[in-house]
Amino acid sequence: MAANKTTPTKMSVKTFIDLVPDQTKRSDAKALVRLMQKATGEKPRMWGPSIIGFGTYQYRYDSGREGNMPIVAFSPRKAATVLYNLKAGKNHEVLVPKLGKHTTGKGCIYIRRLADVDQTILEALIVNSVAAMRKKPELNKG
């Protein structure tokens, strides 16, 4: 079985953000760090080369594959900032449509700019997802 590519690294979150070429994405990343850190009470940590994550949970699929992932995370990519694991909380089906300008994938939300979304809704999505993830029995804060 292949090893998980998304694992914690020793790279500095500050250094990573400082290297983001687009000023708006860099400012958005700093704001998202503050927001997610407040919601989780966890320090930011780099996961792989480009994901900033908060907290840790352990997952195990029916196939036997298992590993650790951040409870919530984001990545300031060129096309959009990717928000990971914000659909885990209660009412996400109601909140996501109210978020503002975004697109979604299976488990991700994509935003171009933080200014395009409702900050209150975004914070509720983060807080609700963190609370839901922490209730899971397999959660492992590591």
Q: Give the total number of structural domains in the chain.
A: 1
Specify if 70 maps to a domain: yes
Decide: 129 and 72 in contact? Cβ < 8 Å. Answer: yes
Reported as a pLDDT band with limits 50, 70 and 90, residue 140 is very low
What CATH number has the domain bearing residue 32?
A: 3.90.1150.200
Measured CA to CA, the distance from residue 142 to residue 138 in angstroms comes to 12
**Residue 93, class by beta-carbon neighbours within 10 Å (0-12 exposed, 13-18 middle, 19+ buried)?**
exposed
Specify if 8 maps to a domain: no
Provide the percentage of residues in the chain whose pLDDT is more than 90.
70
Provide the percentage of residues in the chain whose pLDDT is more than 70.
93
Give me the domain span that covers residue 38. 13-135
Specify if 86 maps to a domain: yes
Over the stretch 26-74, which tens digit does the pLDDT of each residue have? 999 999 999 999 999 999 999 999 999 999 988 777 787 788 889 999 9
Report how far apart, in Å, the C-alpha atoms of 5 and of each of 50, 88, 94 are.
Answer: 11, 22, 32
